[in-house]
Amino acid sequence: MVAPLTRTESASRLPQPISEDQLTVGRMIILVPAQNTNMPALARRVWTLAQPCSIPVLYLSLASREPETENNQRLRMIMLASMTRDDQVVVDTHLHSEGDWIKALQGAIRPGDIVICLAEHAVRVQHRGDYALSDVIETMLDIPVYVIHGVMINQHVHKPTSTLAPPSLSRLTRAWARLIKFGSRLALPALMMGALVILQVRISFSAPSALRTLLLSMTGLAEVGVFGIWSVSHR
């Protein structure tokens, strides 16, 4: 995290490759994010810029606070240097363990050095949100910053929450579906049981006493049968 921005400037796109008549360079300082970087692509781009004039390269990154992650970062920086280095290009690495990018750069930069950021590399600015690291450095240190495009990997794409269905709606839909399914299973047995109850009422009031007991017993057995068949078929 760095201090709030006071002004905003745009970083320049770095020419490819750098020629002697364009600028006198001490070193190229490449600010490397801790993750989401296509290392072979970055090494290839940096070598293309540095090789024609044999410009020394310094890869600079911020160390993680977790020892295991920091060890992985050191390994990645060593691999990045080995992919860039040749007989004409000298490459060093530095993993800054204290402070932020501004402090790391202030401790490393020398007269004649040029600073190169990845275009997609953003940092959190206190009370202001995320800003491109190149803009932050230009603003805070008042130095030109060049950018390299297309070597950061966007691994996660988040869809706007407005496009997602509310979880409560999906749960309500499933509940209604279960209720309808359960109701369809009960519909026919309920109708049959209702018809038998109505028949029993009519028998009780209108059937002769000699037949009443027999008819009520038969309708009772029919109710038991309907319930038994429904229970067996829906286990």
**Neighbour count for residue 26 (Cβ, 10 Å):** 14
The domain total for the chain is 2
User: Is residue 158 in some structural domain?
Assistant: no
Q: Where are the alpha helices (DSSP H) in 51-159?
A: 67-84, 101-108, 133-141
The verdict on 103 and 195 lying in the same domain is no
User: Is residue 2 in some structural domain?
Assistant: no
| Res 163: pLDDT | 34
Structural contact between residues 39 and 80, judged by C-beta atoms closer than 8 angstroms:
yes
CA 84 to chain centre: 31
Selection from 209, 19, 8, 25 nearest residue 116 by Cα: 25
Rounded Cα distance, 110 and 1, in Å? 23
What is the domain extent for residue 80?
A: 12-148
| Res 50: pLDDT | 94
User: Is residue 156 in some structural domain?
Assistant: no
Structural contact between residues 119 and 38, judged by C-beta atoms closer than 8 angstroms:
no
Domain end residue (candidates: 106, 132, 148): 148
User: Is residue 101 in some structural domain?
Assistant: yes
Q: Output the domain CATH number for residue 124.
A: 3.40.50.620
Measured in degrees and rounded to the nearest 5, phi and psi for residue 109 equal -75, 145
User: Is residue 221 in some structural domain?
Assistant: yes
Rounded Cα distance, 3 and 44, in Å? 33
Structural contact between residues 89 and 51, judged by C-beta atoms closer than 8 angstroms:
yes
Q: Which tokens hold the place of 219?
A: 């309708």
User: Is residue 170 in some structural domain?
Assistant: no
The verdict on 38 and 121 lying in the same domain is yes
Q: Where are the beta strands (DSSP E) in 63-182?
A: 91-96, 114-118, 122-125, 129-132, 145-148
| Res 125: pLDDT | 82
pTM: 0.57
User: Is residue 1 in some structural domain?
Assistant: no
Ordered per-residue pLDDT tens for the chain, 235 residues:
444 333 333 444 444 555 444 456 789 999 999 888 899 999 999 999 999 999 999 999 999 888 888 888 999 999 999 999 999 999 999 999 877 899 999 999 999 999 999 988 988 887 778 888 999 999 899 888 999 998 887 643 333 333 333 334 445 555 656 655 655 565 666 667 677 667 766 777 676 776 767 777 776 777 667 666 656 555 5
The verdict on 134 and 198 lying in the same domain is no
Rounded Cα distance, 6 and 47, in Å? 34
The verdict on 36 and 141 lying in the same domain is yes
